[in-house]
Amino acid sequence: MPFQSKSKIVFLLCLLVFVFSACQQTPKNDKSSNKTNNKQEQLSKKTTSQPSSVNNKQLNTANKLIASVGDEAIAKVDFKKIYSVHCIACHGPKGNMSIAGSKALTKSKLDLASIVAQVYHGKGTMVAYKGTLSDAEIVAVSKYVKELQQ
Ligand code: HEC
């Protein structure tokens, strides 16, 4: 009998500690989940307020890329070959097709930096070409896209 009442007390104590800690944790959890909700809200706000093409950080990278590549390096690039190997599949031989959900380049209004940014970083189903193409190749093929624009 004394053993039983002792274990009852221990059980009750455990229960108390459990309830107490549970009560303390609930508001904490609420706070952190609120935080992540806020973060997610901020993120979605950010993405919706972004310009439709590329973000500023990507534009900065693109401008640096353009500045770092010399005219000579660009002149050496066979941009038509690069285009036909890497871009034709989705944009068509004259850049006027929208295959696989892509946009017709002839109708594009983007400036050179935005084009470089898009080719370098990719967007949507369009893959990023950094690592695949050299900086000079990316700038050269982007200049070609600029020529294709009507
Ligand atoms: C796998 C298909 C695919 C390939 C290959 C591809 N693109 Fe794209 N491209 C797309 C898609 C899809 C979009 C639209 C992306 C979006 O806005 O969501 C796009 C958009 C673009 C745009 C932006 C047009 C605008 O006005 O918004 C440019 C510039 C562009 N591509 C250039 C290129 C170049 C240069 C290459 C080759 C180096 C290339 N693309 C290869 C699918 C592709």
Rounded distance from Cα 124 to ligand 1 centre (Å): 9
Mean pLDDT within 58-83: 96
What is the per-residue pLDDT across 56-70, written as a single tens digit (0 to 9) for each? 999 999 999 999 999
CA distance 115 to 68: 16
Q: Using the atom order of ligand 1, give the atom closest to the CA of residue 144.
A: 35
Domain boundaries, the chain: 1-49, 56-148
Rounded distance from Cα 123 to ligand 1 centre (Å): 7
pLDDT at 101: 87
Rounded distance from Cα 81 to ligand 1 centre (Å): 17
Site to substitute for ligand 1 among 78, 80, 118, 141, most atoms within 8 A of C-beta? 118
**What is the third-level CATH fold of 56-148?**
Cytochrome Bc1 Complex; Chain D, domain 2 (1.10.760)
CA distance 35 to 47: 18
What are the residues whose beta carbons fall under 8 Å from the beta carbon of 54, sequence distance 6 or more? 62, 114, 117, 118, 121, 123
pTM across the whole model? 0.72
